[in-house]
Amino acid sequence: MRIAMQSAASFIVVTAMLLAANFASAQQPPEQVVQSATQGIIDELKRLPVEDRTEEQVRHLVMTYITPAIDQQRIAMGALGKHWRRADNQQRERFIELFRDLQIRTYAGAFKSFSGEQITLAQTRFNQRGDRALVKGQLVQSNGQNIPLDFRLYQTRDNQWRVYDAVVAGLSMVKTYRSQLSEQLQSMSMDELLAQMEQQAPSAQQAQR
């Protein structure tokens, strides 16, 4: 099964860079979290020229910077939407695992082709309770084109700020996945969807070689 992003490659690059924070400091405000994340990934990529980046190196980079920053259950719930409530616990756990792998592969592909994009950020907007934040910014591409960005974060119970969605040029990552998965689930069961996702996982592909 292919669950391809419907946006341009820059969408994936931005999302990958955004989600690359290790969130070591719980006291950082949202805009600093995003700024340190994006600059950290940019610095890492500058030390790995495009022509020298191997799949193993890029995947290691994704596992090191991106995976720890993602609330896997929250992202999975948002992506499945109403279908999350219909799934049993075993199906939910398997989906979280497979969806995590899908994101890692997506971000790894983006990192491998990164070519000097930069992000500029504006002031953070908070909700009334102060536990949700919207960091607005722009992706400045190497060709000079600017793409508007919205970075959505929430505050955890231990006061860490974590990203739960990214919106690039009006396109939400979570909503895009939700639309694609909902379409798939109109013609198949959850177990069939999981089976197809398993076939796309690297372990399954290697076993078939």
CA atoms within 13 A on the CB side of 25: 11
39 or 109: whose pLDDT is higher?
109
Judge: domain 9-195, CATH 3.20.20.140.
Answer: no
Mean pLDDT in residue range 118-145:
89
Above 50 in pLDDT, residue 136?
yes
Give one word for 199, left, alpha or beta, with left for phi > 0 and alpha for psi -120 to 50: alpha
Kindly report which listed range (24-28, 65-69, 197-201) carries the lowest average pLDDT score: 24-28
Task: Compute the mean pLDDT over every residue in the chain, rounded to the nearest whole number.
Answer: 81
CA-based angle 195:104:142, to the nearest 5? 135
Contacts of residue 160, Cβ cutoff 8 Å, sequence gap at least 6: 23, 26
Residue closest to 139 by CA, chosen among 32, 21, 18, 41: 18
CA distance 190 to 91: 7
pTM of the model: 0.77
Per-residue pLDDT tens for 63-111? 777 776 678 888 899 999 999 999 999 999 999 999 999 888 887 787 7
**In one letter, which amino acid is 114?**
F
CA distance 195 to 197: 5
Element (H, E) at 168: strand 161-168
Q: Please, which residues bridge with residue 125 across strands?
A: 134
In terms of DSSP bridges, do strands 132-140 and 161-168 run parallel, antiparallel, or are they unpaired?
unpaired
- Determine how many CB atoms are found less than 10 A away from the CB of residue 185: 18
